[in-house]
Structure 1
């Protein structure tokens, strides 16, 4: 492969500088907030906050300032087979959760049961995630057979 057939896409230097500056500002802001929330051990808490937020902050800076110049978007990226499988799984799971919610609400109304709302909602969220995941695996298994 010759050097001429390869095109390097690089962002202007000032975009990299802006990415690092944004990352540093966000890291400092998070570390000061974490340190302020624990005034007894300000420096320890601020250091832990900085360590935890540095990578996400720098990544955000790179995403905002650099990736628009260096990443080529796939014009048909949303039409992949995996995306179709996820959409089918999500649509089926939505209908399952809708029916489950109606049945649960009906049972609770007819039976006049008193239940806490939070566990029921968390159960529905967990059920929806499990349902979508199992549906995705079933769709994938059928397609790859």
Structure 2
């Protein structure tokens, strides 16, 4: 017996048309990005198109499957946002935000008082690196303490 969506009862498969849509989306997105990459490299157009296509094909297919297929094949957890890992990530992110905020204020005061001339890009990269490292370390510590 087949229901109106095209899948049989008891299975977790999307209708065939959704798989076709995912593939079509992936093909169009891959071609578009590959041609854009090729257009920005006119000297080696076909090489750039090939590299762009290879780099785009899998992410485009994954996005197409996520958009068109996963609603039929993946069961959503009603309480997924309440998991321990989610709580740990929220705590680590909140703590890292405050640490980065304090570090930026202290850094700005030091730069202002010392009249140092620092280029913007290295300073921005340092702030981003600090945030990533801080959140990662906080997550590891929270996870370690929780699993003890």
| Structures share fold, TM-score greater than 0.5 | yes
> Closer, same or farther in 2 for the Cα pair 1:44/1:112, shift >3 Å?
closer
Number of residue pairs the alignment of both structures matches:
140
1:80 to 2:75 alignment: no
Which residue in the other structure is 1:104 paired with? 107
Indicate which of 81, 89, 92 corresponds to 2:92.
Answer: 89
Pairwise CA distance, 1:38: 2.2
Shift of 1:75: 0.5
Which residue pairs with 1:63 in the alignment?
66
Shift of 1:116: 1.3
1:1-59 C-alpha deviation (Å, 9 max, x unpaired): xxxxx921111111111111111111111111122222233222212211111111111
CA RMSD of aligned residues (A): 1.4
Q: Aligned residue for 2:40?
A: 37
> How far has the Cα of 1:63 moved from its partner?
1.1
Secondary structure of the corresponding residue to residue 11 of structure 2: coil
In the alignment, structure 1 segments of 5+ residues that lack a partner are: 1-5
CA distance in 1, matches of 2:136, 2:121: 23
2:121 maps to which of 118, 122, 134: 118
Q: State the partner residue of 2:29.
A: 26
Cα distance in 1, alignment partners of residues 14 and 26 from structure 2: 17
1:127 to 122, 125, 130: 130
